């Protein structure tokens, strides 16, 4: 399986993502610059964290106009797995690939520490390796991670089981309904504020993030089984 790690000016978690895929997951991965016109050769697309375009205007607001976003939209329409982490999540929101918006943390401060997450839906291409309701430990590092949407959108997210992760116990940033990660209705685009790529080895304090990437590979292999 071949992954693309999309790099925007200001991305700073692209190396972490690359390492997680290549060294811990053992799959093929390449960096793709923001001006790329095609992602056809890749099986899954990863949008890493950081401060794309310096977070000017709003986090992700300028990145949504990057040339590569056309290819990302195409990949989404084709049903390829697309994962946006932290700033990647913010970009997916700004681009309209996921519903809702991101606001400043309720504390108005940058938060960087490990938090507990609860797996709300393990019947997705991103979470099949987890147990339903499993509580995992994943780091967060953001200043604008306060997810918000209107009541109609929230009801749709709940009814369609699009809320994939919630913060367990405390709500570190004030997100509506403790939402930490959501997917699109089709189920192939996931955005989450916590960093699973920073929880793939015991030396990092947790291996709980590795199952997310393993789930993507499991989905892809099952979808590409060649029968004799």
Q: Give the whole-angstrom CA distance, residue 41 versus residue 224.
A: 15
Does residue 187 fall inside a structural domain? Answer: yes
The answer to the question of residue 228 being in a domain is: no
Q: What is the CATH number of the domain that holds 114?
A: 3.40.50.880
Residue 131 belongs to some domain of the structure = yes
How much is the pLDDT for 226?
A: 55
Q: How far apart are CA 196 and CA 208, in angstroms?
A: 7
Active site positions, annotated: 86, 195, 197
User: Quick check: is 188 in a domain?
Assistant: yes
Mean pLDDT of successive 10-residue stretches along the chain, which has 228 residues: 97 97 98 97 98 91 96 98 98 98 96 97 98 98 97 98 97 98 98 98 94 97 72
- As for how many domains the chain has, the answer is 1
Instruction: Quote the domain boundaries for residue 177.
Output: 2-223
Report whether 125 contacts 215 (CB < 8 A).
yes
What tokens were used for 166?
Answer: 């919630």
Q: Nearest Cα to 113, choosing from 206, 177, 13? A: 206
Q: Is residue 181 part of a domain?
A: yes
pLDDT for position 224: 84
């Amino acid at each position: 399986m071949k992954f693309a790690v999309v790099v925007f000016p200001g991305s700073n978690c692209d190396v972490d993502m690359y390492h997680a895929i290549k060294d811990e997951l053992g799959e093929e991965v390449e960096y793709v610059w923001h001006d790329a016109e095609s992602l056809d050769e890749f099986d899954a697309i990863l949008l890493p964290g950081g401060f794309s375009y310096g977070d000017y205007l709003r986090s992700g607001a300028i990145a949504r106009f990057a040339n590569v976003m056309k290819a990302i939209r195409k990949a989404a329409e084709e049903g390829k797995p697309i994962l946006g982490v932290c700033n990647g999540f913010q970009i997916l929101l700004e681009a309209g690939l996921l519903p809702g918006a991101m606001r400043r943390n309720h504390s108005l401060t940058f938060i960087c520490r490990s938090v507990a997450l609860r797996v709300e839906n393990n019947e997705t291409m991103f979470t099949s390796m987890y147990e339903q309701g499993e509580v995992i430990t994943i780091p967060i590092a953001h200043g604008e991670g306060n997810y918000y949407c209107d009541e109609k959108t929230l009801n749709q997210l709940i009814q369609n089981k699009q809320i994939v992760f919630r913060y367990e116990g405390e709500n570190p940033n004030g997100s509506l309904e403790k939402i930490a990660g959501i997917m699109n209705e089709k189920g192939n685009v996931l955005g989450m504020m916590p960093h699973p790529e920073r929880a793939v080895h015991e030396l990092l304090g947790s291996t709980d993030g590795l199952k997310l990437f393993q789930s993507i590979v499991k989905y892809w292999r099952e979808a590409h089984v060649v029968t004799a």
